[in-house]
Amino acid sequence: MKRYEKMSRLYAPTLKEDPVEAELASHRLLLRAGMIRKTAAGLYSYLPLAWRSIRKIEAVIRDEMEAIGAQEMMVPILTPAELWHESGRWDAYGPELMRISDRHDRAFALGPTHEETFTDLVKNELRSYKQLPCTLYQIQDKFRDEMRPRFGLMRGREFIMKDAYSFSATQESLQEVYEDQKAAYARVAERCGIRALPVVADSGQIGGDTSVEFMALADAGEAELVWCDCGFAADVEAASTSVPVTEGPGDGTLQKVHTPGLGSIEDVAAFFGFPENGTRKSLALVAEDGTRVVAIVPGDHELNDIKASHLFGAYHLMSDEELEEAGLFKGFIGPVGLPEGIRLVCDESLRQSTSWTCGANEVDYHFTGACPGRDFTVDEWADLVSVREGDPCPHCGAPLKSARGIEISQVFQLGTKYSEAMGATFADENGVERPFLMGCYGIGVSRTLAAVVEQHNDEHGISWPVCVAPYEVEVVPLAVGDDVVTPVAERVVEELSAADLEVLLDDRKERPGVKFADADLIGIPYQVILGKRGVANGVAEVKVRETGERFEVPLDEVASWLSERVVPARA
Ligand code: ATP
Ligand code: MG
């Protein structure tokens, strides 16, 4: 039988007002519901309600890890600097690595992740290919001195992570372990009540992915995504697709047109009565090495900053002075008749287009009908655009949808990066020493909790899915200490507990309004409301937090009525 908890003694200090520092729903509501408290910037305490949910998330993870044969263990949070020197990350990690020294001045880091520790751990003891593959994991606090810790549990400086490391003898084996972890991660998200998309973070040379991030869909997410019902999902920064382009106006011959004061794509498109997509957007920039570049994309798309950085290094858009020095005119830049020494880089999607509407490199003039090869020479065709909503899916061609996402977990094929650097080898079938093929797999446990709240809340508070709710049922007697409702509430709580349900009893002497508000704020999935009249008639009112539906349930059926709904919804 599960023990129930009484609200009168529960450490869950709820707040009436929204905390000013909280911008995100999850941050605000976890604070208000008395579930977390800030200890210092990026450091949060989990109060009893939040901790119960955290433990449920961990239980789901443990269950899924056990199902694929990963073994739980624990290594120290403190990691000696020597290991980080071996991998080369002591210097590479930068200021995010929290470094401390002991009384003998020996340096350590508080682990932000544990590739080094695990690689070092197995390196002299996993000796033979016969012992492989082997996957080890732990659930532990991690430390990262984030530049901008914020949004409560979302980006902390200390946070809970499940981190797994796999050691394989062959690429095929690594691939299998990786696919198992990836599938388990999808199930973890689903069982925690999170709608998440697997986003390819890295593709291998032979197709297939070597790293995937699971993104919980939420408006508050930091990542901008495009996705499709066919299963495709990508970060807009990384997505590539062929953007459809329309040809500009005119008969295909080069025409210079007077466009006084029309320096924006919007104005030019309106002037010609053409969609923005039929125009060409020219951006003048200076590459890291000082080269002047004009980059051209379809008029209705943006130059993608990440893609541009790959091509041009730490580039910047030209200032007014730099434009003048280069002989370019803001709003009227184009590919035809560019001044000497400017490199022309155009987006791949424009390669087949033969009639461009673009700036004429002369104030107040545009060209129509500009044709690459005939009227100007392109130095390089490259993938430059940010893919956006409505562009065709690169897999199936259907219009892409856009969304924002929170990265809750990531799976990664590391290959031999750490095993080679740290000399971690095993003997293969022929007795030849080879470096392990490794994978690493991380789930942000505390961030997952925040992501659940981002996806499950309304104007009244949190609305926990049963699978990770701190309690499953809250019993709300509207009169406390009287001889009608109180004994009934006690009996109902006993029956619910006997039915193995997790129960919170609001036994406080508070007004009904206060109790209802707190119940909705804390967001236990089912509320059993016991009023004088109902009890006199032998019924309880059961409110479903998520939908607001209310049911009248005979008192002696409350336990079975709830069991039927709660038990199947458990993770
Ligand atoms: P981000 O890009 O958000 O900084 P990351 O890619 O650096 O995250 P990983 O190294 O992949 O993070 O760590 C595994 C998981 O740990 C992440 O998917 C995320 O859920 C969680 N995580 C990472 N940093 C934080 C943080 N500062 N606070 C809370 N959770 C975090
Ligand atoms: Mg990551």
- How far does the centroid of ligand 1 lie from the alpha carbon of residue 445, in Å? 10
Cα(420) to ligand 2 centroid in Å equals: 22
Residue of 58, 161, 163, 453 with the most ligand 1 atoms within 8 Å of its CB, for mutation: 161
Q: Where in the chain is the domain with CATH 3.30.930.10?
A: 13-239+402-454
CATH 3.40.50.800 occupies which residues in the chain? 471-569
479: exposed, middle or buried (C-beta count within 10 Å: 0-12, 13-18, 19+)?
Answer: middle
Question: Which residues in the chain are classed under CATH 3.90.960.10?
Answer: 255-382
- CA of 526 from ligand 2 middle (Å) equals 35
52: confidence class by pLDDT, cuts 50, 70, 90: very high
pTM, full prediction: 0.88
- Non-local (6+) Cβ contacts of 317 within 8 A are 283, 284, 285
The proportion of the chain whose per-residue pLDDT surpasses 70, expressed as a percent, equals 99
How many whole angstroms from 66 Cα to the centroid of ligand 2?
A: 23
Q: Ligand 1 pocket: which residues have CB below 6 Å? A: 113, 144, 146, 155-156, 159, 161, 407-410, 442, 444, 446-447
User: What separation in Å is there between the alpha carbon of 163 and the centre of ligand 2?
Assistant: 11
Give the residue, out of 210, 447, 449, 452, with the most ligand 1 atoms within 8 A of its beta carbon, to mutate for a pocket test: 447
Residue 468 has pLDDT above 70, yes or no: yes
Cβ(163)–Cβ(113) under 8 Å?
A: yes
pLDDT given for residue 228 in this prediction: 94
Q: Locate the ligand 1 atom nearest the alpha carbon of residue 409 and give its number.
A: 18
Residue 400 and residue 403: Cα distance in Å, rounded? 10
Q: Mean pLDDT across the stretch 280-308?
A: 96
Across the chain, mean pLDDT equals 95
255-382 belongs to CATH 3.40.50.300 = no
Residue 206 pLDDT level (bands cut at 50, 70, 90): low
Higher pLDDT residue, 539 or 1? 539
Ligand 1 atom 24 nearest Cα: 155
| Tokens, residue 482 | 């009287």
Could you say which architecture CATH assigns to the domain 471-569? 3-Layer(aba) Sandwich (3.40)
Task: Give the model's pLDDT for residue 236.
Answer: 86
Q: Which tens digits make up the pLDDT trace of 36-48?
A: 999 999 999 999 9
The residue whose CA is least distant from atom 16 of ligand 1 is 444
Least confident range of 6-10, 359-363, 440-444, 476-480 = 476-480
Structure tokens at 273: 């009565």
C-beta atoms surrounding 488 within 10 Å: 20
Distance 308 CA to ligand 1 centre (A): 25
- Distance, CA of 479 to CA of 488 (rounded, Å): 11
The pLDDT confidence band at residue 205, using thresholds 50, 70 and 90, is low
Write out pLDDT tens, residues 233-282: 998 878 888 888 998 888 889 999 999 999 999 999 999 999 999 999 99
Say which ligand is closest to the CA of 196. 1
Which residue puts its alpha carbon closest to atom 22 of ligand 1?
444
What atom in ligand 1 is closest to the CA of residue 213? 18
d(CA 467, CA 449): 12
Ligand 1 mean position, distance from CA 77 (Å): 17
Specify the CATH superfamily of domain 13-239+402-454. Bira Bifunctional Protein; Domain 2 (3.30.930.10)
| Residue 173 near residue 180 (C-beta atoms within 8 A) | no
Does the CA dihedral 111-116-118-121 come out positive or negative?
A: negative
pLDDT for 2 equals 64
Q: Is 366 exposed, middle or buried (0-12, 13-18, 19+ CB in 10 A)?
A: buried
Indicate the pLDDT class of residue 21, thresholds 50, 70 and 90.
Answer: confident
CB 385 within 8 A of CB 243: yes
